[in-house]
Amino acid sequence: MRAEGPPPAFAELELLEVAPHPEQLGPELAARLSQRLQLPCRLATPPEDLLIPELAGRNQIDADRLLGVLESLPRRSGSVRVGLTHRDMGHLIFTHFFGRARHGGHAVLVSTARLDPTFYGMTPDHGLLIDRTLREILHELGHAGGVGHCRDWECVMHFAATVEDLELRGDTYCPRCAAVLPEALAPGARETPRGL
């Protein structure tokens, strides 16, 4: 999505579950995210009257409209909202999204529907579901941090069309992406090289 303004400060993350996975992934994801990014990550509850925009006739959330709703909710200064849902989500043109974000946005949105092995008829695997979800959240936070897709398969910012791609790509920001991300997402990467 198009760039709009400088990336947010990433002083903290706010994890907001909307129509969540029955296993209540929020607390574990919040702990893993704050450990991984060295950022405070707190759980928040959505307003009771939160509107969940649907795509007519598709049993899917309208991802971009829900992202807009999440961005419009009041937030603390410097806070970036991570919206998480277990509903499948799509767009008029695209069949589905694992996640959605706007460059420089203050909210990202990730759906666990197609990250869950049970979606593909496999046995439940909590660890795999958490791992995939974390990777996808890091990817979308990178977009909010102003970075587009990366050609490097070792980089979490590589595009993933399928859940297999999502596991093939790396789970960290490559040096090129890290160098332009906000400090909070990639600590130390902006340091200028020493010497002459």
Report the catalytic residues: 140
Of 66, 157, 184, 186, which lies in the binding site for Zn ion, with binding defined by CB under 5 A? 157
Pick between residue 86 and residue 176 the one whose CB is nearest to Zn ion: 176
Of 109, 150, 163, 186, which lies in the binding site for Zn ion, with binding defined by CB under 5 A? 150
Of 155, 163, 184, 186, which lies in the binding site for Zn ion, with binding defined by CB under 5 A? 155
Q: How far is the CB of 158 from Zn ion (least distance, A)?
A: 7
Stretch of residues binding Zn ion (CB under 5 A), selected from 28-36, 72-80, 125-133, 171-179: 171-179
Site string for Zn ion, 52-81 (x = CB under 5 A): ------------------------------
Report if residue 144 touches Zn ion, rule: CB under 5 A: no
Cα 81 from Cα 73, distance rounded (Å): 10
Diameter of the chain measured on Cα atoms: 62
Token digits for 62?
């309208």
Pick between residue 26 and residue 145 the one whose CB is nearest to Zn ion: 145
Residues found near Zn ion in the complex (CB under 5 A)? 150, 152, 155, 157, 174, 177
